Structure 1
Amino acid sequence: MDEPHTDIEPVSDPGWYRIRIQGRLDQRWSTWFDGMSLSQGEDGTTVMRGRVGDQAALHGLIERVRDLGLTLLEVTHEAPDTPAEPRT
């Protein structure tokens, strides 16, 4: 039996990601989140930004957010030269 056709191709290349969560984490959490840079928004959120090696690593970061009991607000794939300031 043939597999269903899909136009979605799996992403396996490394890339830059912005992960926005509800709550504030200071920079000391950066090590736990694989060296992602952390910045706080005026709206009570934290934005993690950095290079992620592959989809498995991205899922690992999201699982850590879950393990801390934080609310995940946004995950965005972006260009490395995108400004690091949190979007409100």
Structure 2
Amino acid sequence: MTGRDAPDAATGYELRVAGHLDDHWAAWFEGLTLTLEADGTTSIRGVLTDQAELHGLLAKVRDLGATLISVTSVDTA
């Protein structure tokens, strides 16, 4: 399937970044859940409506200067 064949659909994602993000970043990642993990990383998790929203989230992580460890699609059921 090519990118043009794939319909835009809401999908759950989990991004993991190095380090623990302070609580004040929760507002910047509005609608997403930030979880401080025991291994020293932060997971950012939620449902994104389409690829454009995913790219916007990736840009926020970039602008924050955080090291992106992984991006995973997750089951939202």
- The interval holding the TM-score normalised by the smaller chain is 0.7 to 0.9
Q: How many corresponding residue pairs?
A: 75
Partner of 1:74, secondary structure, is strand
Asked if 1:28 is matched to 2:49, the reply is no
**Higher RCO, 1 vs 2 (CA within 8 Å, ≥6 residues apart):** 2
Gaps in structure 1 of 5+ consecutive residues: 1-6, 82-88
Structure 2 unaligned segments of length 5 or more: list them: none
Q: Computing the radius of gyration over CA atoms, which structure comes out larger, 1 or 2?
A: 1
Indicate the larger mover: 53-62 or 22-31: 22-31
Q: Normalized against structure 2, the TM-score is what?
A: 0.85
1:18 corresponds to: 14
* Structure (1/2) with the larger helix percentage: 2
CA shift in 2, pair 1:11/1:20, >3 Å: farther
Divergent runs of 4+, >2 A? 7-11
The yes-or-no answer on 1:62 pairing with 2:20 is no
Name the CA shift for 1:51/1:44 in 2 (closer, same or farther; >3 Å).
same
SS of residue matched to 2:68: strand
Per the TM alignment, residue 75 of structure 1 is displaced from its structure 2 partner at its CA by 0.5
SS in 2 for 1:12: coil
